[in-house]
Amino acid sequence: MGKTKLTRRQFMTTVAAGTGSVLLGNAVSAISPDSKVRVLDPFKTITLGKTGIKTTLLGMGTGYSGYNRSSNITRAGVAESLIKTAYEKGIRYFDCADSYGTHPFTTAALKGVDRENYVIGTKMWITSGGIPDSDKAYPLTTVDRFRRELNTDYIDLVQLHCMTEGDWTEKYRRHMDELEELKAKKIIRAHGVSVHSFEALEAAAASPWVDVIHVRINPFGENMDKKDPSLVVPVIEKFHKSGKGVIAMKLIGGGKLRDDSEKIDQSLKFVLGLGTVDMLIIGFEKPDHIDNYIERIRKVGLV
C-alpha cells in the first residue's frame, strides 16, 4: 500500500470544517513541561455524552469482519482469551453485537470481574440479513435474551445496528420506544444507533432519541458514510454539541489501512484531534495489536 501522507493543510482543512481548532478534551492526561505536546492516556476515564456512562478512551471492538453471529476473533477461536487480555491491560469498554456472536465469549472472559468495573455495549440487528430472521424480535424480548447471554442484570448501551435508511427514526419507532421503556426501567442505561449511510447519520443527528452514536471516521474517507471527511466532521460536531455520546469506529477504514503504519498514526491523530469524539473502538485480533494501539495513542501527541 502506498505511503500517501495527509498534508497539514488537508488535516487542518478537514478539522476546521467541524471544530475550527484542534482540541482533545478529556483524553489529555498531561502536558510535557518541555513542549506543548499533549500526552494521551488510552485508559483515561471518559463520559459518553450525557449518559453518565464512564469508561476508557480506548475500547475493544469484538466484531472485526463480523457477520452471521461470528467475527474474526470467534472464527479464530481467540475471542475469550483476547477479551480477557484487553481487560487485564486496562480496557474497560467492550463493543458487542448479536451479529458478532460475541456475547458468550465476553461473559466467559469477564467471569468473576465486578460488573461495575466494565462497560458493555451491544447492538441488535433488525433489518434484513445479519442474523436468522427467526431470531429477530422487538427490544423487550431481544434485550432479555442479551442479558441472559451476557449474564448481567443490566446492559450499559443497546443500539440499533447498521441503520442505512434516512427514515429509520420513523420506520423503527416501535424499536426505539421499547428501548426507551427499558431505559426507564434501568434495564439498559442508554440507547442509540450505529449507521452505515450519510442519510442515516444525518437522521441520527436530528433525533433527540439517540443517546450514543457509532460513527465511521478517518481522514482518508475509507469505509465511511461519505468519501470526503469534511462532510462527516460537521455532523459529528452536531452530535457532540447536543450531548450525544460519540464513539469513533473504522479508524483504519475497516482494515483497509491496517498495513500502513503511517496512515494509522495520521488517523489516530486526526480523530483524537477533533475534540468531538468521546472514545475509540478498535477491533483487535491478537494481543500484540492491543499493545500496539496503546503505544500509538500514547505517542500521537497533539499540539
Place of cell 460537521: 234
* C-alpha–C-alpha distance, residues 115 and 181, integer Å: 22
Mean pLDDT of the 270-277 span:
96
DSSP code of 302? B
Contact 66, 36 (CB under 8 A): no
| pLDDT, tens digit (0-9, with 9 covering 90-100), for 18-66 | 433 333 334 444 434 444 556 789 999 999 999 999 999 999 999 888 7
| Enclosing H/E stretch for 15 | helix 8-16
pLDDT of residue 64: 82
Mean pLDDT of the 151-161 span:
98
Using alpha carbons, select from 166, 157, 168 the residue that is nearest to residue 192. Answer: 157
pTM strictly above 0.85: yes
| Enclosing H/E stretch for 292 | helix 287-300
Using alpha carbons, select from 83, 43, 14 the residue that is nearest to residue 221. Answer: 14
Using alpha carbons, select from 204, 191, 195, 192 the residue that is nearest to residue 250. Answer: 195
| pLDDT, tens digit (0-9, with 9 covering 90-100), for 173-192 | 999 999 999 999 999 999 99
Instruction: Return the biggest CA–CA distance within the chain.
Output: 61
Mean pLDDT of the 139-162 span:
98
How does residue 152 score in pLDDT terms, banded at 50, 70 and 90?
very high
Domain spans of the chain, in order of start: 25-300
DSSP code of 190? E
Asked whether the predicted pLDDT for residue 247 surpasses 60, the reply is: yes
| pLDDT, tens digit (0-9, with 9 covering 90-100), for 234-246 | 999 999 999 999 9
Strand locations in the chain (E):
28-31, 38-40, 45-47, 54-56, 58-61, 93-95, 119-124, 155-163, 188-195, 212-216, 245-249, 279-282
% of the chain exceeding 70 in pLDDT:
86
Q: Which amino acid is at 79?
A: A
The CATH superfamily label for domain 25-300 reads NADP-dependent oxidoreductase domain (3.20.20.100)
- DSSP codes joined into one string, 38-81: EEE-TT-EEE-TTS--EEESEEEES-TT-BTTB-HHHHTT-HHH
Burial class (CB in 10 A: 0-12, 13-18, 19+), 34: exposed
Contact 102, 71 (CB under 8 A): yes
pLDDT of residue 22: 35
Neighbours of 159 (CB within 10 A): 26
Neighbours of 46 (CB within 10 A): 22
pLDDT of residue 300: 84
